[in-house]
DNA sequence: GCCTGCCTACCTCTAAAGGGGTAGACCCTG
DNA sequence: CAGGGTCTACCCCTTTAGAGGTAGGCAGGC
């Protein structure tokens, strides 16, 4: 379907046999070229700079540093190429973490081998591919609205937010903080806007996920 | 890669020219067969029963009932086939809603036409496909997992509770569950009483702390 | 049969929430 | 000094929540 460009891949898996199998399969495709292999995360990180692969095929189940953590480090070193996680687990947390780290796909190892090539091409095109059987998990992982904690709340807003998460009404919060209910409303209004949320319920959920203890 | 089975598609778009273009492209593929077209959501809903398509290609930008809403209604009538949303917008809410409703993909209309066939096949295989450029939006939309409890709540109450924790209003919850807002209020009232809580915010917090797992 | 629990739907009512605006006091910085 | 950000407080307004009530349909158990 597409073939003009030759894309470079880095293969990361702690099982040599698995790497062998994947390599053999990919060698039949002349638009895909494996330019390197790594048996663990650390090694993968050192190969990124010299190889600059277009895509990293990353096993998640590795000793010491797993795929998610490797992905995290890859992004931390500003690797902007594609990354495909493949794994045996359907752990919801892993999927969520992977996609938060801008993974381009999350594949289960029990898929049809032929499909892998398909998925690699999709990922190289920038498409997000997620294995069959994971859509339900995805739907579950998708819940509350909040977004990146790149915004900064003022100290007062954090206090109000924590009280919201404590289930308190604006009136009670005002009493606790020694300010009027109206002022509390102002803070609520502002923090909702800053966080891109639409209700105090969403704010409570956001708070529980983002400011555990500290504030 | 795959070709044995002939899959049936329903095409839903309010622009006849767009349908024409897609049909022309798909007619070249002998494993994909368009068995029906609809120019709006209502029409699509009436065609599902008689046609039973394997996949619905659903434009999101339609007057009156948009794609998301159509998808919601499709799922409400227990349509279990694949659904591919395609749209011009990258609205985070739409993507989140779509995937919550078990959409099998969310595609932007500015993609390469040839890729559409690819994506349709992926979706038919159960893969979740999401257009390039949306991975960042996805990463933002991703948040906390759903959760399930052991308490003495009825199934309906658990559904409502989970929606509360998702930040939804009673009206939205009613819409999602296909019941009136008033009935949702009844469920909220009852579950608050059962759990000894005083507001939906407390309920959301309770849900996040106690509901773990699916259901 | 009757009774109970669940789900549904409606009613009325008050309280709470949230969006819009203006505005004064304070502090810090250019 | 002017400007910006914060915190405070109030005004307006609409929408949402939540607590009461009644009630019908429908399942299961007694």
pLDDT in tens, A117-148: 889 999 998 888 888 777 766 765 654 333 33
Nearest CA of chain A to the CA of B115: how many Å? 9
Provide the H-helix boundaries in chain B: 16-26, 41-51, 67-76, 92-100, 113-124, 135-141, 155-165, 170-177, 181-195, 200-210
Provide the sign of the torsion angle of the four alpha carbons B32, B38, B39, B40, taken in this order: negative
Domain spans, chain B = 7-141, 155-210
The rounded distance, in Å, linking the Cα atoms of B44 and B77 is: 12
Higher pLDDT, B112 or A157: A157
Q: Inspect the interface and report whether the beta carbons of B143 and A93 lie closer than 8 Å.
A: no
Q: Which nucleotide is nearest to B172 (CA to C1')?
A: D16
- Which of A2, A132, A138 faces B99 most closely, judged by CB atoms? A138
Q: What pLDDT, on the 0 to 100 scale, is given for residue B63?
A: 64
Give the CA B165 to C1' D29 distance in Å.
35
Mutate to test the interface with B, among A127, A141, A192 (most CBs of B within 10 A): A127
| pLDDT confidence tier of residue B215, bands split at 50, 70 and 90 | very low
Buried-state track A38-67, b at ≥16 Cβ within 10 A, e below 16: bbbbebbbebbeebebbbbbbbbebeebbb
- Mean pLDDT, residues B117-131 taken together: 89
CATH of region B7-141, choose from 2.60.40.10, 1.10.274.10, 3.90.180.10, 3.40.50.2300: 3.40.50.2300
- Mean pLDDT, residues A186-206 taken together: 91
The rounded distance, in Å, linking the Cα atoms of A92 and B145 is: 8
Query: Is residue A3 within 8 angstroms of chain B, CB to CB?
Result: no
Higher pLDDT, B38 or B140: B38
Q: Of the spans A105-114, B73-82, B181-190, which averages the highest pLDDT?
A: B181-190
Surface of B (73-102) touching A: CB under 8 A: 92-93, 96, 99-102
Query: Is residue A5 within 8 angstroms of chain B, CB to CB?
Result: no
CB B133 within 8 Å of CB B108:
yes
Query: Is residue B208 within 8 angstroms of chain A, CB to CB?
Result: yes
The rounded distance, in Å, linking the Cα atoms of B84 and B58 is: 6
- Mean pLDDT, residues A62-85 taken together: 81
Query: What six digits make up the tokens of B215?
Result: 């259901």
Q: Which residue is nearest to nucleotide D11 (CA to C1')?
A: A182
| pLDDT confidence tier of residue B151, bands split at 50, 70 and 90 | very low
Percent of chain B residues past pLDDT 90, beyond the cut: 30
Averaged pLDDT score across all residues of chain A: 82
Look up the pTM and report it: 0.44
Query: Is residue B12 within 8 angstroms of chain A, CB to CB?
Result: no
Query: What six digits make up the tokens of A155?
Result: 């100290």
Q: What pLDDT, on the 0 to 100 scale, is given for residue A108?
A: 84
Query: What six digits make up the tokens of B180?
Result: 């009136």
Mutate to test the interface with B, among A72, A96, A139, A160 (most CBs of B within 10 A): A139
pLDDT reading at B192 higher than 70: yes
B155-210 CATH fold: Arc Repressor Mutant, subunit A (1.10.10)
A36-72 pLDDT tens trace: 999 888 889 889 988 999 999 998 877 667 788 788 7
Q: What pLDDT, on the 0 to 100 scale, is given for residue B142?
A: 55
Q: What pLDDT, on the 0 to 100 scale, is given for residue B65?
A: 67
**Phi, psi at A82, each rounded to 5°:** -80, 150
Higher pLDDT, B43 or B146: B43
Angle between helices A67-76 and A41-51 in degrees, nearest 10: 40
Give the CA A188 to C1' C18 distance in Å.
9
A167-176 pLDDT tens trace: 999 998 998 8
- Mean pLDDT, residues B57-64 taken together: 79
pLDDT reading at B84 higher than 60: yes
Give the CA B198 to C1' C26 distance in Å.
38
Q: What pLDDT, on the 0 to 100 scale, is given for residue A121?
A: 92
CB pairs under 8 A between A and B: 150
- Mean pLDDT, residues B63-77 taken together: 74
- Which of B100, B133, B139 faces A100 most closely, judged by CB atoms? B139
Higher pLDDT, B99 or A204: A204
- Mean pLDDT, residues B70-80 taken together: 75
Nearest CA of chain B to the CA of A68: how many Å? 14
Footprint of strand C on the protein (CB under 7 A): A 169-171, 181, 185-186, 188-189, 192-193, 198-201; B 154-157, 177-180, 182-183, 185-187, 199
- Mean pLDDT, residues B29-41 taken together: 91
- Mean pLDDT, residues B175-185 taken together: 91
Q: What pLDDT, on the 0 to 100 scale, is given for residue B203?
A: 93
pLDDT reading at B2 higher than 60: no
- Mean pLDDT, residues B143-170 taken together: 72
Q: What pLDDT, on the 0 to 100 scale, is given for residue A118?
A: 87
- Which of B104, B197, B201 faces A204 most closely, judged by CB atoms? B201
pLDDT reading at A21 higher than 90: no
Nearest CA of chain A to the CA of B197: how many Å? 9
Q: What pLDDT, on the 0 to 100 scale, is given for residue A214?
A: 37
Higher pLDDT, A51 or A194: A51
Query: Is residue B134 within 8 angstroms of chain A, CB to CB?
Result: yes
Query: Is residue A204 within 8 angstroms of chain B, CB to CB?
Result: yes
Q: What pLDDT, on the 0 to 100 scale, is given for residue A25?
A: 86
Q: Inspect the interface and report whether the beta carbons of B143 and A199 lie closer than 8 Å.
A: no
Q: What pLDDT, on the 0 to 100 scale, is given for residue A204?
A: 95
Q: Of the spans A70-74, B80-84, B110-114, which averages the highest pLDDT?
A: B80-84
Higher pLDDT, A76 or A81: A81
The nearest alpha carbon in chain B to A123 belongs to: B132
Q: What pLDDT, on the 0 to 100 scale, is given for residue B214?
A: 35
The rounded distance, in Å, linking the Cα atoms of B39 and B19 is: 9
Q: What pLDDT, on the 0 to 100 scale, is given for residue A149?
A: 41
């Amino acid at each position: 379907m597409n073939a003009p460009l030759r894309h470079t891949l880095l293969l990361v898996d702690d099982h040599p046999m698995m790497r062998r199998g994947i390599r053999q399969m990919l060698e039949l495709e002349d638009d895909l070229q494996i330019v390197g292999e790594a048996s663990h995360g650390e090694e993968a990180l050192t190969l990124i700079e010299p190889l600059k692969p277009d895509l990293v095929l990353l096993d998640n189940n590795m000793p010491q540093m797993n795929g998610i953590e490797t992905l995290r480090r890859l992004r931390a070193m500003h690797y902007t190429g594609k990354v495909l996680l493949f794994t045996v687990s359907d752990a919801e947390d892993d999927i969520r973490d992977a996609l938060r780290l801008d993974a381009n796909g999350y594949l289960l190892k029990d898929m049809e081998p032929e499909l892998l090539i398909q998925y690699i091409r999709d990922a190289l095109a920038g498409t997000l591919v997620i294995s069959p059987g994971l859509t339900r998990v995805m739907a579950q992982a998708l819940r509350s609205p909040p977004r990146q904690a790149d915004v900064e709340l003022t100290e007062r807003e954090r206090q109000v937010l924590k009280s919201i998460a404590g289930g308190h009404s604006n009136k009670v919060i005002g009493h606790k903080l020694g300010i009027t209910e109206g002022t509390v409303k102002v803070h609520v209004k502002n923090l909702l806007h800053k966080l891109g949320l639409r209700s105090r319920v969403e704010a409570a959920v956001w708070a529980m996920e983002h400011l555990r203890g500290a504030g």
